[in-house]
Amino acid sequence: MGFDIHRAIEVLEGKYHEWQEPMVTEMARKGKDPFKVLISCILSLRTQDKTAKEASQRLYSLATSPQEMMKLSKEQIIQAIYPVGFYRTKANNIKEICRILLSEYQGRVPHKIEDLLRLPGVGRKTANLVLTRGFNSQGICVDTHVHRICNRWGYVKTCSPEETEMALRKKLPSPYWQRINDLLVAFGQNVCRPLSPFCSRCPLEDICPKIGVNRHR
């Protein structure tokens, strides 16, 4: 028998309220705006959630649409989003994204993954998160937490987040597609850490094979 993904999802759903919700998920829940989901996800890349959330709020106090964002100078955007990781590159990408949205998509965020991937700074993780959280469409957002945990469970055997996404598209039941990122990011940040996970307090300890885990608490 393989890893019981149904039990895992059920257990994690029951524990989810005890953990800090991922920043982009929290912002999307308060109002599904694909543009804000897109920009917040870009700001969150290689940045702690708290820092990215505060940067998003500062930026949205100045502009909440591509039209408004284009009126800001690059320096204004930099000042708003600092100290997120790679803030200068992200400011450039935000300006260029807004230009493309206005010139090619009537100021709207596209809802096809192929179009989203054409935007600067947007990879498959961000594109899938915009689909699932911005448009409530089917997609599987795979970040480092989803990649690590699914391999640690032995549910997939892959070498990169993109490989994990493709494997999950073939294997993961579709009702779990939208939700798996929320659950595993929260689980990964709080319990199933990259190094020395908290196996002693893990609600899935009894079914987890701990593949690749050399040290745990």
Catalytic residues: 125, 143
CATH number belonging to domain 5-19+140-201: 1.10.1670.10
User: Would the CA dihedral through 107, 89, 160, 172 be positive or negative?
Assistant: negative
53, containing H or E segment: helix 49-60
Read off the DSSP letter of residue 199: G
Cα distance between residue 80 and residue 171, in whole Å? 41
The pLDDT-based confidence of 25 (bands split at 50, 70, 90) is confident
Decide whether 5-19+140-201 matches 23-134 in CATH topology: no
Answer whether the bond into residue 83 is a cis peptide, omega within 30°: yes
> pLDDT per residue over 130-168, tens digit each?
999 999 999 999 999 999 999 999 999 999 999 999 999
DSSP 162-181: HHHHHHHHHHS-GGGTTTHH
Can you give the residue ranges of every domain in the chain? 5-19+140-201, 23-134
23-134: CATH class: mainly alpha
> pLDDT per residue over 70-123, tens digit each?
999 999 999 999 999 999 999 999 999 999 999 999 999 999 999 999 999 999
Q: Compute the C-alpha angle 63/112/159, nearest 5°.
A: 100
